[in-house]
Amino acid sequence: MKLEKTNNTDAGLAQEPATQNAYAETSAGRGSYWQLNPVFRELIDIYRDSGKKRGLKESTIYKTSFSASSFLLAMQNRGRESLNDIDEKDVISYFIREDGRSPLSGGYRDTVASVFKSDLGSYTEPARRILAYIPVIRQRRKNIQYLKPEEADAVRNALDDPGSGLCMRDRAIGMLLFFTGIRGCDICCMKLSDLDWEKEEICIVQQKTANGLTLPMSAAVGNAIYDYVTMERPSSGEPCVFLCMTRPYRPLSEDGLRSAVPKIYRAAGIRQGKGDRQGTHLFRYHVASALAGNGIARPVISETLGHTAPKSLDCYLSGDIQHLREYALSIEPFPVSGEVIPL
């Protein structure tokens, strides 16, 4: 069905976009940080200031500060009041259990270590000593799950079915995830001004890498977004495309997205068992394996997913090529209008 252009301005289309930081200024590690003694809290503050001067993203500073605050709080609970009080046994016992295994991930270890590698002023020397104590944690191989062919078909059918029970917002989100593999954080921060209706492109600045990314706006994706924006999106001056369903209609948060995406799987009648993954990243794995299964070169897949490092693709394509071909996504378009109506 071909959509007709509308003059409806209640959807917020005429509003001037304003700059919005996805991560508002907030105190690092709000839980652990505020329980730290003045010495440890000052260390975290120095790291935060140093990170800002080095141009680190606010999200990176927040995540790293949160992890380091948790580590320092554990040391504080052991009776350690300063870095000089912390010894090797304290650090090793935090990261490694008595059975020799670690309850923590290698990624968490690296995040904590990155704080102690930083320039921490008068704390730098004792921080380097603690850094030397932090053990290497073997990275656990992820159990990558992909959408099976029948699951992919079920999702496509649910997204295309007006009677599936999905609201227009969640349907548009599902189309974006299914056809582009876009990160969830980038969906939440996508602005109306990022939609180029004439070129049929979506141009965003990625939240994770701060790099630009241009994605094709297929008819299926474009029409779903258009339906939502013109017919369901609340009247709001917010520049973000996707808003909460209830007042005061703030931009959809990542927690809100995590609540919305399982509705797509439920509408499709898949992944309802205990332990079945239902996150947004499952769609990224699906798109990556689909493109690989159709013979698309790795550099093109990396560019499509917005990766900056070639190795980032490895975890997405850890299966053999036969596995990837089995889960390849058909490039046959949705049975919708081939024309995206500009706003």
197 neighbors 342 (Cβ within 8 angstroms): yes
Whether the pLDDT of residue 334 is over 60: the answer is no
Q: Give the mean pLDDT of 211-238.
A: 94
pTM of the predicted protein model: 0.62
Q: Give the mean pLDDT of 81-94.
A: 94
Instruction: Choose among 255, 329, 260, 281: nearest CA to 183.
Output: 281
Whether the pLDDT of residue 73 is over 50: the answer is yes
Model confidence at 161, pLDDT cuts 50, 70, 90, reads: very high
Instruction: Choose among 67, 121, 117: nearest CA to 94.
Output: 67
Instruction: Tell me the domain boundaries of the chain.
Output: 30-133, 149-326
Model confidence at 92, pLDDT cuts 50, 70, 90, reads: very high
Q: What is the pLDDT of residue 343?
A: 41
Model confidence at 26, pLDDT cuts 50, 70, 90, reads: very low
Q: Which of 5-19, 22-36, 145-159, 262-276 has the lowest mean pLDDT?
A: 5-19
Helices (H), 203-335: 219-231, 254-268, 281-293, 298-305, 321-326
C-alpha span between 66 and 116 (Å, rounded): 14
Instruction: Choose among 247, 221, 223: nearest CA to 234.
Output: 247
Q: What percent of the chain shows pLDDT beyond 90?
A: 57
Model confidence at 101, pLDDT cuts 50, 70, 90, reads: confident
DSSP 8: -
Per DSSP, the residues of 98-142 read: TTS--SS-HHHHHHHHHHHTS--GGGHHHHHHHHHHSPP-PPPPP
HSE value, Cβ hemisphere, 13 Å, CA-based, for 204: 25
C-alpha span between 66 and 150 (Å, rounded): 40
What are the backbone angles phi and psi of residue 216, rounded to the nearest 5°?
-70, 140
Whether the pLDDT of residue 163 is over 60: the answer is yes
Both tokens of 153, joined, read 């078909």
149-326 is classed in which CATH architecture? Orthogonal Bundle (1.10)
